[in-house]
């Protein structure tokens, strides 16, 4: 069984076919995904700029992290759910898209990042007790911003990828 045949089987599931073929549902899911990226991304930006000591300096790091956490989780859960619906409804197309795989790889690295820097995000009071923001917290913030910017860029590039045909030329994009 090839990756292409697995992807075809996934996207052939009834409701995923319905999503892909809908003139309304697919765009609504895409708009929701993009809106949640904006919300989640903005909250990530605020959190990490605070970790870097570049904004909201009058607010304790712990307060910023804790107050934004529920909203980040909400945005993240909706964003990932919509992304899964989009990705699986067109799994065959995405299975050969290098930017899709870059995005997936970067998402995996975000999960590794969260594990490596667990203490930064789950014990922010320690950061507030330090005379200066610890280098580990700054590293966590900077690395997270770089990873999430990479995810957003790779996600955007997915739509512009045109695979080469067998003659090594770009295929024309047909818009119905």
Determine the Cα–Cα distance for residues 143 and 22; give it in Å rounded to an integer: 38
Give the global pTM.
0.84
The predicted structure's pLDDT at residue 166: 64
Residues 80-90 have a mean pLDDT of 95
* DSSP 8-state assignment for residue 33: H
Confidence of residue 43 (pLDDT cuts 50, 70, 90): very high
CA distances from 132 to 48, 127, 169 (A): 15, 8, 55
Q: Count of H helices and E strands in the chain? A: 9, 0
47 CB neighbour count, 10 Å cutoff: 23
The predicted structure's pLDDT at residue 176: 59
Residues 109-129 have a mean pLDDT of 93
């Amino acid at each position: 069984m090839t990756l292409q045949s697995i992807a075809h089987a996934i996207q052939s599931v009834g409701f995923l076919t319905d999503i892909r073929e809908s003139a309304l549902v697919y765009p609504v899911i895409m708009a929701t995904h993009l809106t949640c990226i904006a919300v989640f991304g903005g909250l990530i930006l605020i959190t990490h700029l605070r970790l870097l000591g570049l904004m909201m300096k009058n607010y304790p790091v712990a307060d910023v992290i804790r107050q934004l956490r529920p909203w980040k989780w909400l945005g993240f859960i909706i964003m990932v759910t919509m992304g899964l619906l989009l990705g699986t409804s067109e799994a065959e197309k995405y299975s050969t898209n290098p930017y899709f795989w870059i995005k997936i790889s970067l998402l995996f690295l975000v999960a590794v990042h969260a594990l490596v820097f667990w203490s930064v995000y789950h014990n922010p009071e320690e950061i507030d007790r330090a005379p200066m923001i610890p280098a580990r917290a700054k590293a966590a913030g900077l690395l997270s911003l770089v990873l999430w910017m990479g995810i957003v860029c790779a996600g955007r590039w997915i739509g512009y990828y045109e695979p080469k045909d067998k003659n090594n030329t770009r295929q024309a994009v047909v818009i119905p």
